[in-house]
Amino acid sequence: MTQRNTLTHLDWLEAEAIHIMREVAGQCSNPVLLFSGGKDSICMLRIAEKAFRPGKFPFPLMHIDTGHNYKEVVAFRDKRAAELGERLIVRSVEDSMQRGTVVLKHEGESRNKHQSVTLLEAIEEFGFDACIGGARRDEEKARAKERIFSFRDEFGQWDPKNQRPELWSLYNARSHKGENIRAFPISNWTEMDVWQYIEREGLELPSIYFAHTRPVVIRQGSIVPVNVPLMNGELTNLPKAGEEIVDLQVRFRTVGDISCTAPVESDADNVEKIVLETATTTITERGATRLDDQTSEASMEQRKKEGYF
Amino acid sequence: MSTQDKIEDHGLLRFLTCGSVDDGKSTLIGRLLFDTKTILADTLSAITRTSEKRGMGAVDLSLLTDGLQAEREQGITIDVAYRYFSTGTRKYIIADAPGHEQYTRNMITAASTANLAIILIDARKGVLTQTRRHSKLASLVGIPHLIVAINKMDLVDYSQETYEKIKADYLEFAAKVGIEDIRFIPLSALNGDMIVDRGDALNWYDGPTLLDMLEVAPAAHTEHDEPFRFPVQYVCRPQDSANPELHDYRGFMGRIESGSIKVGDAVTVLPSGRESTVKSVQLGGVDIGAAFTEQSITLLLADEIDTSRGDMIVKTAEAPAAVKEIRATVCWLAETPLDRARTYLIRHTTRDSKAKLTGIDHRLDVNTLENLPADKLAMNDIAEVSFKLAQPLFVDPYLENRGTGAFIIIDESSNNTVGAGMIL
């Protein structure tokens, strides 16, 4: 009798994610990997290295920049792409605003959902037939039902009632011209898995994931960072009249558009402490930190139907 | 020291829950998530609000598994949803499929990746048609372990007699279907008895709790020896002129569907039949020497053999059958019925072949479990059929090897996945 081998849960998740990335590379002719500089997409890059080294990645990296990203994250994004020697494409929501394809309701409106427009424009510009993204099913109820290979029509729309059946690990990435596939290699990972993987692999992260002191206000029960410097030195998220600014020790659990990402109070200044904090937290990742998801219980589903990844 | 050095890791178990809302399936899942502390405070307060809005006294844990807007409006589950929890020693993925007859395809989908199924029975109702249907489907999809959970024991006064009667009925049926590894457990998902905690209402039951059963259930591929099967997904040829070491690098990338491989093993590449030996086993460009089932790796061979996506590398002594005709159990998934005149695409491992139906042996009536004559296949139908293939496929019987026994059927005009097949 030979010895039975079982993969640890992280090894299993990693092997599945590598398999999914290779399926995209094998089935699609022009894929792209969405890389924001956030923790999930940082894991995705490590998975891509394990999947394709010593070769180059069979896809470029792309970031849809809202123009309202934390400068630490933008700098990290550029540094990481350069270290890997992979091509990074950046397309900006501000360019879409100039073209008139994105119209904000008011100047302070979150640009997060408008990323969909810029993403679709970039897909058309480069003729991408697949976008690999770092979304996870544990993040949100609509995502729990989305396929690993998710078909989107010409308008980038997800139709939750008309998804392709997905059985075993036999993925169907076929699409007609103009349609495309969104592939999610870390669908089966939880926030905890991501942090454990970061710890195991010793992955570097943008500094704002770790406890640091920053000026914030408390707005409707959420911690809202204020006076956040952008890449061009301008300050954004200015406090409203009458709000009291306090210096608080915080870290970010998710990183996105400044206008809709809130930090949590924490003194976890290294990955091990974050893993322990994640194990004992009482608030979900998005519940704690995504101001845009609180608007309505179904808001992620709505955004996905409109082309969001 | 890393936090991961402190705890044992018993890998990952994927399981499926079968039953309808009436059996308390959503409540059971909610209970598992709640009692393993997977449900966080804000989610709990959201469902508490919804429970109050719907005029319910206690918190309705089944609300945790309501996914999409349409489902929330209709109060039913319409598609497979995946849930996650962890006990610290093991990670779990639950595939939650709706139980109704018209959702046969959803159950097959959810079952395809599961290694264990929990069949829920309402203690007041006993073994029903749907219990038999779920059990048959689970066995058809090759799920090796079943837990029959007799729920709502609180509504039958926790009666041991009721439990024993249902168990005997089920065993009689299971013997006919040929299901082997079955465990039984009495529970109350509503009150949390015997799920994570034992409670004090079922003291006559001295077996393990549901979670204890899950903690020790074997993970996939750990139970018997399997031949080495390595479908090639992608070929890596860096051709980096700056690095002479990489000049001749030719890595065959894929995931091991079954078996194990190490440096020096004699292998054959299919379909060419060319033989070689393994020069290197790599992960991310780093030598790891050997690898086993479910690992995604890169193989380098000692000889230069022309190999591309869709080929399969196997150990020379244990090659699978190369076939141009297959007999299989097929579940039809699409609203458009199977068209006998049309050519479909079969995707098997990383290989595609055009295929044409040559015959339908019979259809399975999922309620009576009888085989009936059939000349067409509509959505949710399950039948034994034959296809002829344009390209040879390298197959094993599904019940021996899920990785090389499974295929999907694709409609080339819509690109939709229209069928799921298991080779006989």
* A5–chain B Cβ distance below 8 A for any pair: yes
Calpha distance B231→A171 (Å, rounded): 14
- Mean pLDDT value across residues B157-186: 93
Sorted by sequence, the CB contacts under 8 Å of residue B77 that are 6+ apart come out as: B21, B26, B65, B66, B67, B71, B96, B97, B98
Lowest average pLDDT, out of A151-160, B351-360, B378-387, goes to A151-160
Tokens of B7: 């705890």
Per-residue pLDDT tens over the stretch B330-344? 999 999 999 999 999
Summary mean pLDDT of chain B: 88
Mutate to test the interface with B, among A7, A20, A159 (most CBs of B within 10 A): A7
Q: Domains of chain B by range and CATH?
A: 4-216 (3.40.50.300), 229-318 (2.40.30.10), 321-423 (2.40.30.10)
Tokens of B205: 């039951």
Other beta carbons less than 10 A from residue B380's beta carbon:
17
Lowest average pLDDT, out of A246-250, B117-121, B178-182, B208-212, goes to B178-182
- Contact between chains at A22 and B81 (C-beta distance less than 8 A): no
- The distance of A288 to chain B (nearest Cα, Å) reads 8
Place of tokens 């608007």: A295
For chain A, percent of residues with pLDDT exceeding 70 = 89
Judged on CB neighbours under 10 Å (0-12, 13-18, 19+), B72 is middle
Summary mean pLDDT of chain A: 88
- Mean pLDDT value across residues A160-185: 92
In B, residues 382-421, which contact A (CB 8 Å cutoff)?
Answer: 402-403, 406-408, 410, 415-417, 420
Is the distance from CB of B172 to CB of B133 less than 8 angstroms? no
In B, residues 53-112, which contact A (CB 8 Å cutoff)?
Answer: 66-70, 72, 78-84, 86, 90-91, 93, 105, 108-109, 112
Sorted by sequence, the CB contacts under 8 Å of residue B83 that are 6+ apart come out as: A144, B29, B33, B65, B93, B94, B96
- Mean pLDDT value across residues B413-420: 96
Please report the pLDDT score of residue B60 as a whole number.
64
Chain A residue closest in CA terms to B73: A298
Calpha distance B180→A68 (Å, rounded): 58
In angstroms, the Cα distances linking B81 to A187, A240, B16, B93, B110 are 12, 41, 10, 10, 9
Is the distance from CB of A243 to CB of A217 less than 8 angstroms? yes
Chain A residue closest in CA terms to B408: A170
- Mean pLDDT value across residues B31-37: 81
| pLDDT greater at residue A157 or residue B57 | A157
Please report the pLDDT score of residue A106 as a whole number.
83
Please report the pLDDT score of residue B419 as a whole number.
97
Q: What are phi and psi of A164, to 5 degrees?
A: -70, 135
- The distance of B57 to chain A (nearest Cα, Å) reads 22
- Mean pLDDT value across residues A244-257: 91
Tokens of A301: 């589903």
- Contact between chains at A145 and B68 (C-beta distance less than 8 A): yes
Is the distance from CB of B155 to CB of B123 less than 8 angstroms? yes
Residue among B131, B12, B146, B145 nearest B82 (CA): B12
Mutate to test the interface with B, among A29, A56, A167, A291 (most CBs of B within 10 A): A167
For chain A, percent of residues with pLDDT exceeding 90 = 63
- pTM, two decimals, is 0.92
Per-residue pLDDT tens over the stretch B88-109? 789 999 998 876 766 788 899 9
- Contact between chains at A168 and B113 (C-beta distance less than 8 A): yes
Calpha distance B194→B212 (Å, rounded): 10
In angstroms, the Cα distances linking B115 to A100, B92, B160, B348 are 52, 11, 29, 20
Q: Per-residue confidence at B195, pLDDT binned at 50, 70, 90?
A: very high
In A, residues 147-176, which contact B (CB 8 Å cutoff)?
Answer: 160-161, 163-170, 172, 174-176
- pLDDT of B147 above 80: yes
- Mean pLDDT value across residues B213-238: 88
In B, residues 112-141, which contact A (CB 8 Å cutoff)?
Answer: 112-113
Is the distance from CB of B364 to CB of B354 less than 8 angstroms? no
Q: Per-residue confidence at A92, pLDDT binned at 50, 70, 90?
A: very high
Calpha distance B141→B137 (Å, rounded): 6
* A278: three-class secondary structure by DSSP: helix
Per-residue pLDDT tens over the stretch B53-82? 655 555 666 666 555 455 545 544 557 888
Is the distance from CB of B151 to CB of B30 less than 8 angstroms? no
Residue B335 CA from chain centroid, whole number:
23
Sorted by sequence, the CB contacts under 8 Å of residue B245 that are 6+ apart come out as: none
Closest in B40, B234, B348 to A26, CB measured:
B234
| pLDDT greater at residue B52 or residue A32 | A32
- Contact between chains at B233 and A161 (C-beta distance less than 8 A): no
In A, residues 7-66, which contact B (CB 8 Å cutoff)?
Answer: 7-16, 18-19, 22-23, 25-26, 49-56, 58
Q: Per-residue confidence at A3, pLDDT binned at 50, 70, 90?
A: very low
Tell me how many residue pairs between chain A and chain B have CB atoms under 8 A apart: 192
Closest in A12, A138, A174 to B415, CB measured:
A174
- Mean pLDDT value across residues B185-203: 94
Terminus-to-terminus CA distance in chain B, angstroms? 50
Integer-rounded Cα Rg, in Å, for chain B is 24
Residue among B410, B406, B408, B409 nearest B422 (CA): B406
- pLDDT of A83 above 50: yes
* A290: three-class secondary structure by DSSP: strand
Chain B residue closest in CA terms to A175: B415
| pLDDT greater at residue A142 or residue A250 | A250
Other beta carbons less than 10 A from residue A298's beta carbon:
17
- Contact between chains at A287 and B407 (C-beta distance less than 8 A): no
Calpha distance B365→B293 (Å, rounded): 35
Strands (DSSP E) contained in A135-276 are 149-152, 180-183, 212-219, 222-225, 228-229, 235-236, 246-251, 264-265
For chain B, percent of residues with pLDDT exceeding 90 = 68
Strands of B145-151's sheet in order across: B81-86, B91-96, B12-18, B116-122, B145-151, B181-186
- pLDDT of A297 above 50: no
Lowest average pLDDT, out of A65-69, B55-59, B111-115, goes to B55-59
Is the distance from CB of A182 to CB of A130 less than 8 angstroms? yes
ipTM > 0.85? yes
